[in-house]
Structure 1
């Protein structure tokens, strides 16, 4: 299916500073990566989504699926209308991912819930919920996201249980080298979250 003929960024109402609170759970777990993709975004810490599970699906990118008793950790960001439109476009809304409103619990730097619940938007591929294998270039981005989110409370137990079955760890030196190669050689990154 083809995307839009006109970029949504060309028709965005930018009169409001922020339009949406966003929950990013894959490469958008990284505050640094999000700042590069969405320059107006404001990082607000981590949150967890109960009764959902993180996966790599058949598109070879990150996704979440409803799953009783499981949990997904993600970063919270306020998005400007321009950044939201840009994410919609890069996520392939509505033909790849769909926007969903979910309720999450904010997480402290210790990885534990604060009890504060907020409603937020996230992207979900509801058509391709089957498991797949990760695209090799995407391994670098997910490892960077894990590294960048740890200081804000991303639990090692979560990473080991849900993410590592799909994504092997890499050294910091390999990650830095691979990030440079991915940025130089890769086509525009699709399915960033």
Structure 2
């Protein structure tokens, strides 16, 4: 959500991180972390598991000019699921500014298929929520390309166009096609494939 999370890798260099477990969390990534390609660069140990839908929350650009989610009855948020290693989780904690900016929350989500339909499988996930800064904001110009990339990268995995149009596009000003293509090339990374939970 904040610029350091867009500069990879996010893996922590803290030598005190407990690495005795291969994975420490199932993470629900929204905003720029919706992109499986971007996350493979930010969190090199992460494993992409497909998309999921969080009910009764909505996506926003808050007054920090970056992505956030907040409780909102009747709304929903789509995000990508990733298994994170302890070092990747600690790196995301650092780049998201836990606990003074974002807080870690455990939320239940429903997995979706490649057509964007719910599978009925509900899972507990960890995600980051800014509960202090919830006023609407204007997106940071450099952040626009990351959100557009996230939309493009998540679409083949079931991200519904209706969701993008209703919740994300209102925050994203139009760019000239050449400018958008240039910026997307600048943030290209390798694409992972989803794995089953």
TM-score by length of 2: 0.85
Partner of 1:47: 52
Is the CA contact 1:56–1:134 (under 8 Å) kept in the aligned structure 2?
Answer: yes
Cα deviation, residue 169, structure 1? 4.8
- Alignment of structure 1 residues 89-100 onto 2, 5 Å: 89-100=94-105
Give the Å deviation of 1:24: 0.3
**CA pair 182-48 structure 1, distance change in 2 beyond 3 A:** closer
For the 8 Å contact 1:55–1:131, the answer to whether it is kept is yes
Partners in 1 of 2:13 and 2:167 — Cα distance?
33
Which range moved further: 82-91 or 164-173? 164-173
| CA–CA separation in structure 2 for the residues paired with 1:128 and 1:81 | 27
**Which of 96, 103, 111 lines up with 1:106 in the alignment?**
111
5+ residue gaps, structure 2? 1-11, 189-197
Name the Cα RMSD after superposition.
1.7
Which runs of structure 2 are paired with 1:66-77 in the superposition (5 Å)? 66-77=71-82
The C-alpha deviation readout for 1:98-152, integer Å capped at 9, x for no partner, is 0000000000000010000000000000000110000000000000000000000
Instruction: Structure 1: give runs of 5+ residues left out of the alignment.
Output: 1-6, 184-193
Matched ranges for 1:142-153 at <5 A: 142-153=147-158
Change (3 A) 1:136 1:182: farther
Query: Among residues 21, 28, 34, which one is paired with 2:33 in the alignment?
Result: 28
**What is the TM-score of this pair, normalised by structure 1?**
0.87
Equivalent position SS for 2:15: helix
Say how many residue pairs are matched.
177
3-state SS, counterpart of residue 10 of structure 1: coil
